[in-house]
Chain A
Amino acid sequence: MDAADIAVLETPDEVPADSLVDLIGWTLKPEGLCRDERCVIVPDSSALRAGDGVSLAAVAGLLDRPVALDVDAGLVAIGAERQQRRGALQDRRAPDFSLPDLDGTWHALSDHRSKKKLLVAFSSW
């Protein structure tokens, strides 16, 4: 999981189905919503439909990701898959994440596998 996966999208909620791959990396196929080797079954494709396209909020819901819209600004924010946080809270599995340091070099938690890690979240506020 990195910041790009949760980037705020400049788009209305209703989008052409074939733009999903560019927006969120998932493609709507006859077998379901697919990304790489993974497919999520779409029980009722009409529930995703909005106008001539699909609703991003409905797609996010199917992927178990929270969503918030600002219709006036034309922005859609889609959060991380809830399963990742549940894995942390219920099964103790630390969700991997990747973030840049101040020089722009990316670091992932998984870079430090096989080491004990002290993770400190802090702020200036």
Chain B
Amino acid sequence: MIAVAIDEAADTIRNYIRNDTDGITYPVLMDPDHLLTELYAISNVPTVLLVDENDMIVQPNWNAYSTNTFKDFHGIDADAQLDAIRRWVRDGDTMIPVDDVAGSVADLTEEEERGKLHFRLATSLRNAGDEEGAERNFARACELAPHDWTIRRASMPLRGGDPFGPEFFDAGSPYHGINHPGTS
């Protein structure tokens, strides 16, 4: 198992690991530049991919959760997903026939590609202390790739917003109308 944080908040990720009671034995990698999302056309996380012994993808991007913490929110049962992963590891059973994997995830459009690059420009400018330049590029990125949550949602904490606040749960969000987990 390899975990990749599409994130620049190294301290937050470090705390996750510190607070994990099971003890993490796998690599946890940091990807603040979102290299992985560009290479694999990932537009939301968490997502899980299964890659076989020959570095061939047998399960492409797929919204998957390792716990049921947010089950009420997205309605996805982690247990069934974990069982499916175990079956693949043990018996080689794949969730979808490998012949159907190719082409099952759409390529990024040119706009979406450029959106990811403007996100990179924005974080680079933000790290250099140029808030105005960062905001200009965050705005452009969101405009180019409005459905890419690794841009739109990921940029919220970097622009003074709250990815767990009304910005995400209300305006234009596919989650609009769904209660925040923990609220009624």
Binding site for B on A (CB under 8 A): 1-3, 6-8, 66-68, 70, 72-73, 75, 77-80, 82, 84-86, 88-97, 99-102, 107, 109-110, 112-125
Contact = CB atoms under 8 A, between A and B. Distances in A.
14 contacts: A66-B117, A68-B120, A70-B136, A70-B137, A72-B133, A119-B1, A119-B51, A120-B48, A121-B42, A121-B47, A121-B49, A122-B45, A123-B5, A125-B7
Interface of B: 1-7, 9-10, 12-14, 16-17, 27-31, 33, 35-42, 45-58, 60, 64, 66, 85, 88-89, 98, 101-103, 105-108, 110, 113-114, 116-118, 120-121, 124-125, 130, 133, 136-137, 150, 153-154, 156-157, 163
A101 B117 contact: no
A80 B60 CA distance: 19
A68 B114 contact: yes
Contacts of A90: 102-103
Contacts of B114: 66-68
Nearest to A7: B33
Nearest to A8: B124
A102 B117 contact: no
Contacts of A75: 121, 124-125
A93 B57 contact: yes
Given A85-B41, A93-B56, A123-B45, A101 B30 contact: yes
A120 B16 CA distance: 15
Contacts of B133: 70, 72-73
A79 B56 contact: no
A113 B53 contact: yes
Given A107-B27, A123-B6, A73 B130 contact: yes
B4 to A, nearest CB: 5
A125 B12 CA distance: 10
Nearest to A9: B124
Interface of A is mostly: mixed
Given A68-B117, A113-B55, A88 B39 contact: yes
A124 B13 contact: yes
Contacts of A122: 3-7, 45-46
A79 B162 CA distance: 28
B123 to A, nearest CB: 8
B175 to A, nearest CB: 14
Contact of B57 (A68, A84, A92): A92
B120 to A, nearest CB: 5
Given A68-B117, A80-B38, A94-B57, A118 B48 contact: yes
Contacts of B157: 124-125
Contacts of A3: 31, 33, 35
Contacts of A124: 5, 7, 9, 12-13, 16, 157
